[in-house]
Structure 1
Amino acid sequence: MNNTLTKADIVDSITEKVDQPRGEIKQRVESLLAIMKSAIVRDHALLISGFGKFEAYAKKARKGRNPQTSESITLEPRKVVVFRLSKKFRDQLN
């Protein structure tokens, strides 16, 4: 079950529905994604009503283990983004 939706699939789907050149639609999709990325970087969150919320948060440094050598290592602090479905979408999914 590896049916991943790609940006190209999104552009193709929109192209089928509207009468605009594919290049223009691709540019608009890229612009939308850039807006979403900058919102997450700036506000650490992006809420899309009826869909869900993207949240960025910092993970602290922690101890880990190299699986090949069993050597103990320290994993650097990093930022991660999580996605939480809206209740409406979750109900629709289930």
Structure 2
Amino acid sequence: MNKAELVEAMAKITSATKADTEKALDAFIDVVSNNINSKDGVKLVGFGTFSVSDRKARMGRNPQTGEEIQIPARKVPVFRPGKELKEAVK
């Protein structure tokens, strides 16, 4: 499902216009993006938690040449599903 399909499905459920639904979805994405770095990230009980994780620096290998390369440490976004979401997938 892409963004347009998600907006259409949400609009059907909420009986809102597609334009209003897209604005709401964009606002949700902006809020999560701007607040993911906070101490606890963004928690949606039953759905999941958006947070940031630190990856340590490590050695990797260039698959074309086999040469070892240093991969620097970085921060990456992480989503941990909640209990209800996990059960919905079963």
**Same fold by TM (over 0.5)?**
yes
Moved more, 53-62 or 66-75: 53-62
Q: 1:87 aligns with which of 80, 83, 89?
A: 83
Flag structure 2 segments of 5+ consecutive residues without an equivalent.
none
Moved more, 76-85 or 60-69: 76-85
Measured in 1, the distance between the counterparts of 2:84 and 2:9 equals 24
The answer to whether the 8 Å contact 1:15/1:21 transfers is: yes
Distance apart, 1:55 and its partner CA: 2.3
Cα RMSD for the two superposed structures: 1.8
Aligned-pair identity in percent equals: 29
Q: Which amino acid aligns with 2:67?
A: E
Q: Secondary structure at the match of 1:41?
A: coil
Name the count of aligned residue pairs.
90
Measured in 2, the distance between the counterparts of 1:50 and 1:34 equals 21
Residue 29 (str. 1) matches residue 30 (str. 2): no
1:11 corresponds to which residue?
7
1:64 corresponds to which residue?
60
The answer to whether the 8 Å contact 2:55/2:73 transfers is: yes
The answer to whether the 8 Å contact 1:59/1:80 transfers is: yes
* TM-score normalised over the length of structure 2: 0.82
